[in-house]
Every structure is written in C-alpha cells, then in structure tokens.
Amino acid sequence: MKPGYLKRDYFRHGVLGVLLAFSLPALASDPASAPLDTLREARPLADDPAIEQRMVNLAEDLRCLVCQNESLAGSKAELAEDLRREIRDQMKAGKDDKEVIEYLTTRYGDFVLYRPPFKPVTYLLWLGPLL
C-alpha cells in the first residue's frame, strides 16, 4: 500500500466514526423522553361529538391568553387546554354559547374575545391599529 492511501483511509474512518458517534444518540432516543409539547398533541374529546364541535366552533372565536395571537382552539398551551375542558364541562351542564362567553369575559375580560365589543373600555383595541 502506498502511504497516501493509508492517510485517506484513516480520514474516511475518522469521519465515519464522528458521524456515527453523533447519530447514535438520535437513533437511541426513546419516545417516552420526548418533550411534553409533542406528547400533548392529542386533545381530549367530549363524549358527545356535538358538544365537541360546539366547543371547537366557540374556541375558534376566543383568544389564547398565553399565546395571544392564536385561537383557543389551536393553542397547545396548558391554560388553553384547561379552558377548553372548562368550556366542555359548561356545555355538558347545559349552558349555551352566550353563557359560556359571558363566564369567560367575566373571568378574563374582553381580551379573551377575538372580536371584543366596541365600548369605551375597548376603544384602544379597536382604534390602536389606526394610530
């Protein structure tokens, strides 16, 4: 063998060794050790599909209080999950959408609504983009 070939072989083996060393931890990762955000993707469903659909429709018009630029239906924040569960529970108890919205606005203010009412308290929300 020529000395040049020997150096190239050592280089190739070294590169392969480094690649293997960095790829083994990724291959050996356990799904149980995945971040909680990826494990929480499955949303709990209501027993009644009609209630679940009502909750999703209502949650589309509500703002996530953590994300603020995402709907309550699309947010993966823990508070959003809790609020969706609360909405389901209230709907199961027989409350209509207006009563659920009234409960949420009483508790969290008009900011929870994507389209807050036009009143003195919300003038800044409506007119702020024009300033």
Domains of the chain in sequence order: 47-115 (1.10.8.640)
* Average pLDDT of the residues in 61-83: 91
Per residue in 79-91, pLDDT (tens digit) is 999 999 999 999 9
CA–CA separation, 81 and 79 (whole Å): 5
Positive or negative CA dihedral for 94, 45, 101, 79?
positive
Q: How confident is the model at residue 64 (pLDDT cuts 50, 70, 90)?
A: very high
Q: List phi, psi (to 5°) of 94.
A: 100, 5
Q: How confident is the model at residue 14 (pLDDT cuts 50, 70, 90)?
A: low
pTM of the model: 0.59
* Average pLDDT of the residues in 51-80: 91
Q: How confident is the model at residue 114 (pLDDT cuts 50, 70, 90)?
A: confident
pLDDT at 115: 82
Q: Is residue 107's pLDDT more than 90?
A: yes
CA–CA separation, 74 and 7 (whole Å): 56
